[in-house]
Amino acid sequence: MDDKSRITPQFQDTPDEQSQEILSQLQNDGLNPDVFEQIKNDPLFQQLNNSLQGLPSTDQEIQKLNDEERLTFEMCIKKSIQNHKRVEEKQKFIFKKGFKFVEHRFYQNQMKTHKKMKQNQQQIDFYEIHFKELSLKMNKHLTYFIHPQKKMQIGKLNYQSGFKSFNQPYIRTLLKSKSFRQEIKDYILNHFIQEVQEEMGLKLQKFIKYCSRMYEEALREFYMYSAKNDDEEYFRNYIRLKMEQSIVKNSKCKIPWSFQEVIDAQKFALNLIEQEMDVENE
C-alpha cells in the first residue's frame, strides 16, 4: 500500500443501502417531546441552529464539541454549501405549505357549521368557493384545479388535476383566484415563518441523530477492516470520507432550510402574488 492510498481511503459515491434505510426510518419517526427539549440545550444543536440562523460560531464554541460533533458540524456546513435552491424550488416549498394551510383551515370552518359533511363534499366545496368563478372564466372544468397530488371524488368517479406536478404553471393558476390569493397571502405573512421555525428544530435533530448513526457505522467498519492500520491521519480520513459519502453526497439526506432561505422564499412568493395582482388590474 503506497503512502497516498494509506492517507486517503477511497469510497464509492453512492450511499450504502443501510444508511438509506436508517435515513428513511428517521424521516418517518417522531421524536419524544421531552428528548427534544433536552437536545435544544446540547452544544452541537445550538451551533448547528446558529449556523442555520446565519450566526457564526467562534473557535471556542467549536472546541467544546467532541470529535463526532465537530465532524457532524463540518458535514452540515458542507451540505449547506451545495444546498442552494432555485427560485422555483423556494416558491414550490412555500406554496405547497400554503395550500395545505388554506385547505385545512377551510375544512375546520366547514366542520364547525356542517359537522356531518362528508370529506369528498368538503373537497368539492373548497374548490367551488375558490375556483368556480375562475373555471368559468378559463373555460376549464373545476377538476382542472385539483392539487396534483390529490384526487377529488364526485359521485362514484375520481378526478385528478389538470397539472402533472405542483409546478410554476399550477402555482400561477391558483393565484388567479382572488379569494385563494388572499388566503395564501395571509398564510405567508402571518403563519409561514413560525411554522417553518417550529419544523426546523425537529428536522435538525433528525439530522444530528442520522449523523450519529453514520459515525458509529463508520467506526465499526474501520475496526472491522482497517483496525491494524494505526495511522491516526488515515483513521480520521477514513471516518470523514465515510461520513461524506453517507451525508454530503447522499441526495436523500436533507438539512433544514436556513433562515435566509426561508426569508427568500417568503419574498419570492409575495412577489409572485404581486405579479398576478398586477396582471389582474391591467
232 and 109 belong to one structural domain: no
158 strand-pairing partners: 153
Helix H or strand E segment including 44: helix 43-52
- The confidence score (pLDDT) of residue 171 equals 94
The boundaries of the domain holding residue 139 are 88-191
CA nearest to 161, candidates 140, 144, 174, 176 = 144
CA distances from 16 to 19, 187, 263 (A): 6, 40, 35
93 and 155 belong to one structural domain: yes
33 and 82 belong to one structural domain: yes
- Where is average pLDDT lowest: 49-58, 61-70, 186-195, 204-213? 49-58
Report yes or no: 253 and 246 within 8 Å, Cβ to Cβ.
yes
Give the end of a domain, one of 174, 191, 208: 191
In a domain, 2, yes or no: no
Report d(CA 223, CA 235) in Å as an integer.
10
Over range 205-214, report the average pLDDT.
92
25 and 154 belong to one structural domain: no
Give the end of a domain, one of 191, 223, 250: 191
pLDDT tens-digit profile of 262-277? 898 899 999 999 998 8
pLDDT tens-digit profile of 70-96? 999 999 988 888 777 788 888 889 999
Q: How many structural domains does the chain have?
A: 2
User: Is a pLDDT exceeding 50 seen at residue 3?
Assistant: no
In a domain, 219, yes or no: yes
In a domain, 38, yes or no: yes
43 and 61 belong to one structural domain: yes
In a domain, 118, yes or no: yes
Report d(CA 39, CA 46) in Å as an integer.
9
137 and 262 belong to one structural domain: no
100 and 159 belong to one structural domain: yes
Report d(CA 219, CA 147) in Å as an integer.
45
In a domain, 6, yes or no: no
pTM: 0.76
CA nearest to 271, candidates 101, 96, 94, 54 = 94
- The confidence score (pLDDT) of residue 230 equals 77
Report d(CA 169, CA 128) in Å as an integer.
20
167 and 77 belong to one structural domain: no
Q: Which residue is listed with cell 457505522?
A: 217
User: Is a pLDDT exceeding 60 seen at residue 207?
Assistant: yes
In a domain, 61, yes or no: yes
- Where is average pLDDT lowest: 5-9, 78-82, 119-123, 252-256? 5-9
Identify residue 151 by its one-letter amino acid code. Answer: K
In a domain, 158, yes or no: yes
pLDDT tens-digit profile of 161-193? 889 899 999 999 999 999 999 999 999 999 998
- The confidence score (pLDDT) of residue 241 equals 93
28 and 154 belong to one structural domain: no
- The confidence score (pLDDT) of residue 145 equals 92
pLDDT tens-digit profile of 32-52? 555 445 556 788 998 998 888
50 and 93 belong to one structural domain: no
Give the end of a domain, one of 157, 191, 225: 191
94 and 184 belong to one structural domain: yes
Q: What cell does 162 get?
A: 389538470
62 and 100 belong to one structural domain: no
DSSP E strand boundaries for the chain = 151-154, 157-160
